[in-house]
Amino acid sequence: MARYDPDRMELSARDRVALANSTEITQGRGGPHSGVFLDISQVSKDRILERLPRMYRQFLEYQMLDISRQPMEVAPTAHYSMGGVVVDPETHVTDVAGLYAAGEVTAGLHGANRLGGNSLAETVVFGRRAGEAAARYSASRDVQLRARQVVGAANDELSGFVRHGRQFARPLQRALRDTMWESCGVVRDDAGLRSGLARVAELRELAREVDVRPTSEGYADLAHALDLRAALVAAEATLLGAVARRESRGAHQRRDFPALSADLLVNFQTRLDADGHLTVDAQPVPLVPPQLKAWVDASEEPSVAGRLLE
């Protein structure tokens, strides 16, 4: 059982905490619900309510557990994306004219491992850059054109989702989440990743028969169907990138390739080809500016995957 201690693992980088927890669970030392125990009962209840009010009430509501008195069972989970849409760093414009992106949807800011608090830079710094650039672009246009054929095609596509089908989106969403956890979780390997790709392909075929129909409450079925379609693309892109990165770097840990590879100092970009299939290509990582290189060299450490997976 882990107790909160500023000098111990609990406040290490998130990838190391997740890897350590995952190792305990996969090697059979997990709790009754396949988690590990975190104990913060030595912290005062007032302090917990000040810093973790929502977590405190969630445990009370869902488990009838007072975390100021009892240990909680926890486990790693996917909560953030360190990949995303490729944007220009100065303006955050995409390769679609007039389309800007900022925040977690974009790629490149965090490298291989996001540290706690860094997401504020995405919204405060780069959200402002994107907003200012979008405003300048809009102000530079004499007229705002709307392609009627694009609007019509989008409407037709949405209308095509409304149908009586043999599948339901929610179970397929759950199956996709389970697939990604089992095949592309904290620690990956080639066999698991390729098994995940095969399962995603199966789920994509099932998604073609999702039941979508309006109800008195609106188009909730349509929202789930659209979310499922997007999630299937994101899942396949993630799996393809993980297959290509035959090394362990940051939060990406490969059981079959536990060390860093000097040949893989690249960014993998996934695109749709002319036939609608996802393809992956490698783009060299720009050199670190001289004024920052000393900091980077001082912070680099060997991968911890090999040590924890021995």
Q: What is the identity of the amino acid at 113?
A: N
Instruction: Say if residues 174 and 206 touch (Cβ distance below 8 Å).
Output: no
Alpha carbon distance 215, 48 (integer Å): 43
Write the Ramachandran bin of 33: left for phi over 0, alpha for psi from -120 to 50, otherwise beta.
alpha
Long-range (24+ apart) CB contacts under 8 A made by 26-35 are 26/187, 30/75, 31/73, 32/73, 33/73, 33/75, 34/75, 35/73, 35/74, 35/75
Write the Ramachandran bin of 149: left for phi over 0, alpha for psi from -120 to 50, otherwise beta.
alpha
Instruction: Say if residues 67 and 44 touch (Cβ distance below 8 Å).
Output: no
Strand 187-188 to 253-254 pairing: parallel
DSSP 125: H
Catalytic residue among 3, 8, 14, 213: 14
Instruction: Say if residues 253 and 19 touch (Cβ distance below 8 Å).
Output: yes
- For the chain, the helix, strand and coil percentages under 3-state DSSP, each to the nearest 5: 50, 15, 40
Alpha carbon distance 122, 118 (integer Å): 7
Active site residue 14: yes
Alpha-carbon torsion 305, 238, 264, 126, what sign? negative
Closest to 104 measured CA to CA, from 288, 87, 91: 87
Alpha carbon distance 91, 114 (integer Å): 22
Catalytic site positions? 14
